[in-house]
Amino acid sequence: MRTLAVLLATLLFAAGLASQPLAARTLSYANFPPASTVPCVQMERWAEEVQKRTNGAITVKTYPGSTLLTARNMLRGVQTGQADIGCISMSYQPGAFPFSFALSQPVGFTSATTASVTLWKMFEKYKPQEFEAVKVVAMFTSAPSNLMSRVPVKTLDDMKGLEIRGAGNLSDVLARLGAVPVSMPMPETPEAVQKGVVKGLLTSFEVLKDMNFAEMCRYQTVMNLPVYPFAVIMNKRTWDSLPKDVQKVIDDLALEQAEWTGKYWDAHVQTALDWSKETYGIEVYDLSEADQSAMMQAVAPLIDAWKVEARTAGLDPEAILKDIETFKAEAEAAYGK
Ligand code: 3IO
């Protein structure tokens, strides 16, 4: 009787094993902003594609909204293996990503699609040292940054002395425009705006809807300022432990994921603006042509400051800027401006 039970248990166990591929493995993927935001939407898309393309050998368990790692401990958390995969906004660690920061200079990106594809191609070409401790599995950027504010900002002069949230390079942009920059990761920003610690924020417009900033910030100013670059990074030991065919699936997905995310992001900016007008009657201001060109002149010296930083890090800033121009022109020809 006892032998029979053991035999039965063994058979059931074996059947359980056979019902899934041998290499079946679950990877954790941490993200810092709320599930409704674009970085998390692209995370779900990546997870689904990897599951599909590995025929279920890899399952990705996603953790949006800082439920596994926060913006501030994402990089370390992935390096130490608290999560297999994590999404970082390079702007949150000024100084750590001199190569990536080239993309958030005022180099004239007009869409997330062109900037995301350019970022990925730049990464592939340069394999920058700043990502040596991790495996980069995807990259993308936000759409160009614009101002969302609790007070109307119709001219450059209206920016003077205004406390505005930005991160990394975008804080330097704010300083050049005479505003008072306040740096913090995105998840901390709603409370800062709500409490009046800042009067508004500088980032892409889709958060008006995805984080409901439109409720507090009724005044928008179109500025076409730089994008925020992101990277999706994997723990090195996790990467090394994956079968070659799984690694290939992940590598083959990267460019397509940059393109998918950029396109989704650009379309979603328009959706969010329409929704915010309908829901909260937000106002959207364009700067005068004179102010627009004065603004671009005011931020241009940031490129020179970045060149110094890049050279200190052993990079060749002239070559990097030239390649960005080339990839950007190619992307604009392929996807439109
Ligand atoms: C961003 C970050 C998290 C969620 C939505 C977002 N839209 C634009 C960004 C860019 C960014 O990293 C930031 O902090 O503004």
Question: Per residue in 49-69, pLDDT tens?
Answer: 999 999 999 999 999 999 999
128 lines ligand 1 (CB under 6 A): no
User: What pLDDT is attached to residue 17?
Assistant: 46
User: What pLDDT is attached to residue 225?
Assistant: 98
207 lines ligand 1 (CB under 6 A): yes
142 lines ligand 1 (CB under 6 A): yes
Q: How many angstroms is it from 1 CA to the middle of ligand 1?
A: 63
For the entire predicted model, the pTM comes to 0.93
User: What pLDDT is attached to residue 4?
Assistant: 53
Average pLDDT of the residues in 121-138: 98
The answer to whether 133 touches 97, Cβ cutoff 8 Å, is no
Q: How many angstroms is it from 185 CA to the middle of ligand 1?
A: 8
* pLDDT tops 80 at residue 16: no
Q: How many angstroms is it from 121 CA to the middle of ligand 1?
A: 21
Would you place residue 240 in the very low, low, confident or very high pLDDT band (cuts 50, 70, 90)? Answer: very high
Mean pLDDT of the chain: 94
Would you place residue 5 in the very low, low, confident or very high pLDDT band (cuts 50, 70, 90)? Answer: low
Average pLDDT of the residues in 100-124: 98
Would you place residue 23 in the very low, low, confident or very high pLDDT band (cuts 50, 70, 90)? Answer: low
Question: Can 17-93+112-141+229-267 and 145-227+269-335 be said to share one CATH topology?
Answer: yes
The answer to whether 183 touches 173, Cβ cutoff 8 Å, is no
Minimum mean pLDDT among 1-15, 106-120, 215-229, 242-256: which range?
1-15
Q: Please, is 331 exposed, middle or buried when counting C-beta atoms within 10 Å of its C-beta (0-12, 13-18, 19+)?
A: buried
Residue nearest to atom 7 of ligand 1 (CA): 204
CATH number, span 145-227+269-335: 3.40.190.170
Start-end of H helices in 72-210: 74-79, 112-126, 169-176, 189-195, 207-210
Residue 264 Cα distances to 61, 67, 94, angstroms:
22, 24, 27
User: What pLDDT is attached to residue 337?
Assistant: 85
**CA distance linking residue 105 with residue 320, whole number of Å:** 12
CATH architecture type of domain 17-93+112-141+229-267: 3-Layer(aba) Sandwich (3.40)
Helix (H, G, I), strand (E, B) or coil at 31: coil
Strands lying side by side in the sheet with 163-166: 180-183, 163-166, 200-203, 145-149, 219-225, 283-286
Which sequence spans correspond to the domains of the chain? 17-93+112-141+229-267, 145-227+269-335
Nearest alpha carbon to residue 32 among 77, 83, 74: 74
The answer to whether 218 touches 281, Cβ cutoff 8 Å, is yes
Half-sphere exposure of 73 (CA within 13 A, CB side): 10
Q: How many angstroms is it from 187 CA to the middle of ligand 1?
A: 9
112 lines ligand 1 (CB under 6 A): no
**CA distance linking residue 234 with residue 29, whole number of Å:** 9
33 lines ligand 1 (CB under 6 A): yes
203 lines ligand 1 (CB under 6 A): yes
204 lines ligand 1 (CB under 6 A): yes
**Mutation test of ligand 1: which of 31, 204, 269 has the most ligand atoms closer than 8 Å to its C-beta?**
204
User: What pLDDT is attached to residue 24?
Assistant: 87
pLDDT (tens digit, 9 = 90+) per residue, 201-235? 999 999 999 999 999 999 999 999 999 999 999 99
Strands lying side by side in the sheet with 58-63: 58-63, 25-30, 85-89, 229-235, 134-141
Would you place residue 7 in the very low, low, confident or very high pLDDT band (cuts 50, 70, 90)? Answer: low
